[in-house]
Amino acid sequence: MAIVEDRNIIAVDVQNAVKRYGSFTALKTISLSIKDNEFFTLLGPSGCGKTTLLRIIGGFEELSEGAISLFGDEIAKLPPNKRPINTVFQNYALFPHMTIEENVMFGVEMRGGSKAEARQRASEMLDLVQLTQFASRKPSQLSGGQQQRVALARALAPEPKVLLLDEPLSALDLKLRQAMRYELKEIQRKAGITFIFVTHDQEEALTMSDRIAVMSSGELQQLGTAREIYESPHNTFVADFIGETNLLEVSVDALSGGSATCHLGGGHELICDEVKGVGVGAKVHLSIRPERLTLSDTPMEGASLSGVVRDNIYIGTDIQTIVDLNEGPQMVIRTSNSDRGNKRIFEPRSPVFVNMEKGAARLLAD
Amino acid sequence: MAQAGEDIKNYPGFMPITLFCLVVLYAPLLVVMIYSFNESKSITVWQGLSFKWYVDVFVGPESAKFKEAAINSFSIAIVAALAATAIATSAATGMLRGGSFRGRGFSFGLINLPLIVPEIVTAVATLIFFSAIDFERGYLTILVAHIAFCIPFAYMPIAARMQGIEDTYEQAAMDLYANKTQAFRLVLFPLMLPGIVSGFILAFIISLDDFIITNFVKGAGIETLPTAIFGAVKQGIKPNIMAISTMLLAVSIVMVTISYFVGKSGDKLKQPPGEK
């Protein structure tokens, strides 16, 4: 494996991509650069345009406007069979009349490889996805998880420069889906090429991706690492879509030295980091992750909001406490079950204070 | 789960109605089959088992006539079915893979029109057409007419099969560097094959059995099996007619059965939804 690698070579560059279907605009001027050797995820709810963007990169849809290049070469006008990009389809689309081996050989042969070469490559790929013993079976004789891996082997066999994956895990059951996440990531590392992965499952995106592009209604909402997107969401949509959060309506009272003083209903006051684009008097949203809040029966230093416990919900790893702030909104607080020893569980109707560490609350520009 | 009371067998009158339908549909066929093995010349009195009418078909006084008619029937059926299948395959590919083009609905109607138009109307129209263009009636007119009315019968199973083939298969082929021709030849065509075989067999049977249109367009001096049988029956029903009918019936049943199993045998197109 190469030790020195340039992390800044651009594999796929999308510039001002627009896609219209009649009067409907599926993609509204999207620009993004996907790096070489990166596990890149397009994340968003259904209808956000993520699959459209993937199909444009694959060559199955034509751009209405804009440009795409692959390692510097313009590819927007090339048909799919002229692009060194392969796809793992959502329903796998394994050829049902061919054996597993023939499926994996197909792309190598179509690309001009000899039969022997294709067979050699197929055996390597089936070895990679641990399905060597199924080479002579038909796709219908395999389980969903195995078919999924065949689809992966088939797409990797012709040595594409970029691999596209269109919600490949969505047809699998939960346990298998979780196991496949690590396997996919491992295979990407071994293959050493760019993976562009489409999903609506934020947990999938967070666990596998080097970088995530969050999309909604045909627009790019935020681009960043999993940590950036989870901890520093740019706007209400991202904060709400990724993980669980308390979204509170606040108004900004004062700004000083990089901090913003805000208040929410009931006279509660909060201090958080200043955010570009939010000035004094602005009525905006504030996001606080439930696991970054703690409860106590006396007010603590810093932000401490008074309220009453409504309910405790046991959810396995955590206990979720719902608190009605006095004359204010409702908040959800998550307490890990592992440190229950040093944290109190407050019974419903008991008065409490909700405390947050510095930097936990984040102002959202819109 | 269905409760015992909802079982269709418990509906009042289920058995009598079923039996009545079966008798009306199949008793005549059974009579023909049974009496084709009758020892006697009578078609109403059973006088013992014999194969003599089957022998008569092949070596009897009328055997030459029947042989010629059979050769005409089978050769027309094979050629007409081949031509109709080729046309229907292209039609289905155009209709289902050509995107939405203008006049798509109209084309669909046009392909299937012969199924709706009463056969006698088609027969008369075809006859008028051949007369109008001064086409001499004979083997060729029968063949052309058969190709025309066989197309929708070949089209149906081919289109049905094709509808079940998701277009991601072709996209996957294209994605894996196949050009359009290779994607059709290596992926779409093999997946369509059961439908194509099924369509061919159905068209073959339809052509083999056709009487009305054939009778109108055939002209003098040429017979197919159905018209030959009709001609023979006009001079009174003899048991050798029953023997020929039984053999035709057997051919039909075998072909339809093959068509059914070929249609079912194709590789499963739908993936299992999740883990099996």
Predicted confidence (pLDDT) per residue in A95-138, tens digit: 999 999 999 999 999 999 899 999 999 999 999 888 999 999 99
Rounded mean pLDDT, A226-232: 91
Nearest residue in chain B measured CA to CA from A107: B176
What domains can you pick out in chain A, each with its CATH number? 10-236 (3.40.50.300), 244-364 (2.40.50.100)
Helices (H), ranges, chain A? 50-58, 100-110, 115-128, 144-156, 174-191, 202-208, 226-231, 236-241
Residues from chain B contacting residue A155 (CB–CB below 8 Å)? 175-176
Q: How many CB pairs under 8 A join A and B?
A: 91
Nearest C-alpha of chain B: how many angstroms from A167? 14
Q: Pick B274's closest partner by Cβ from A92, A154, A173.
A: A173
Kindly indicate whether the ipTM for this predicted assembly is greater than 0.95, answering yes or no: no
Rounded mean pLDDT, B175-195: 92
- β-strand partners of A211: A40
Taking CB atoms and an 8 Å limit, are B271 and A110 in contact across chains? Answer: no
How does pLDDT run across B216-263, given as a tens digit for each residue?
998 888 999 999 999 888 888 888 888 998 998 999 899 888 888 887
Above 50 in pLDDT, residue B56?
yes
Above 90 in pLDDT, residue A175?
no
Taking CB atoms and an 8 Å limit, are B176 and A89 in contact across chains? Answer: no
Give the CA radius of gyration of chain A: 25
Integer Cα distance of B173 and A87 in angstroms: 10
Nearest residue in chain A measured CA to CA from B193: A97
Nearest C-alpha of chain B: how many angstroms from A28? 25
> What is the structure's pLDDT at B275?
34
Q: Copy the structure tokens of residue A5.
A: 């690698």
Longest dimension (CA), chain A: 76
Above 70 in pLDDT, residue B5?
no
Q: Is B155 exposed, middle or buried (0-12, 13-18, 19+ CB in 10 A)?
A: buried
Place of tokens 């904060």: A239
Taking CB atoms and an 8 Å limit, are A95 and B173 in contact across chains? Answer: yes
Q: Could you tell me the sign of the dihedral formed by the alpha carbons of B191, B195, B197, B198, in that order?
A: positive
B275 touches chain A (CB under 8 A): yes
Residues from chain B contacting residue A91 (CB–CB below 8 Å)? 166, 168, 271
Taking CB atoms and an 8 Å limit, are A97 and B175 in contact across chains? Answer: no
Taking CB atoms and an 8 Å limit, are A95 and B175 in contact across chains? Answer: no
Nearest residue in chain A measured CA to CA from B271: A140
Above 90 in pLDDT, residue B42?
no
| Range 173-232 of B in CB contact (< 8 A) with A | 173-179, 182, 186-187, 190-191
Above 80 in pLDDT, residue A167?
yes
> What is the structure's pLDDT at B220?
84
Task: Give the other-Cβ count within 10 Å of A249's Cβ.
Answer: 12
The mean predicted confidence, pLDDT, of chain B is: 86
Q: Which residue has the higher pLDDT, B238 or A159?
A: A159
Residues from chain B contacting residue A138 (CB–CB below 8 Å)? 267
Confidence of residue A3 (pLDDT cuts 50, 70, 90): very low
Integer Cα distance of B228 and B224 in angstroms: 6
Nearest residue in chain A measured CA to CA from B191: A97
Taking CB atoms and an 8 Å limit, are B271 and A139 in contact across chains? Answer: yes
Rounded mean pLDDT, A38-61: 93
> What is the structure's pLDDT at B271?
45
B164 touches chain A (CB under 8 A): no
Q: Range with the lowest mean pLDDT among A35-39, A58-62, A346-350, B96-100?
A: B96-100
Q: Is B118 exposed, middle or buried (0-12, 13-18, 19+ CB in 10 A)?
A: exposed
Residue A12 near residue A70 (C-beta atoms within 8 A): yes
Pairs from B115-121 (Cβ < 8 Å, separation ≥ 24): B115/B152, B115/B153, B119/B149, B119/B212, B119/B213, B120/B212
Residue B227 near residue B155 (C-beta atoms within 8 A): no
Share of chain A above pLDDT 90, in %: 54
B49 DSSP 8-state letter: B
**Which of A57, A60, A81 best probes binding to B when mutated, by most B CB atoms within 10 angstroms?**
A81
Rounded mean pLDDT, B169-191: 92
Residues from chain A contacting residue B176 (CB–CB below 8 Å)? 81, 86, 106-107, 110-111, 154-155, 158
> What is the structure's pLDDT at A272?
81
Q: Which residue has the higher pLDDT, A162 or B102?
A: A162
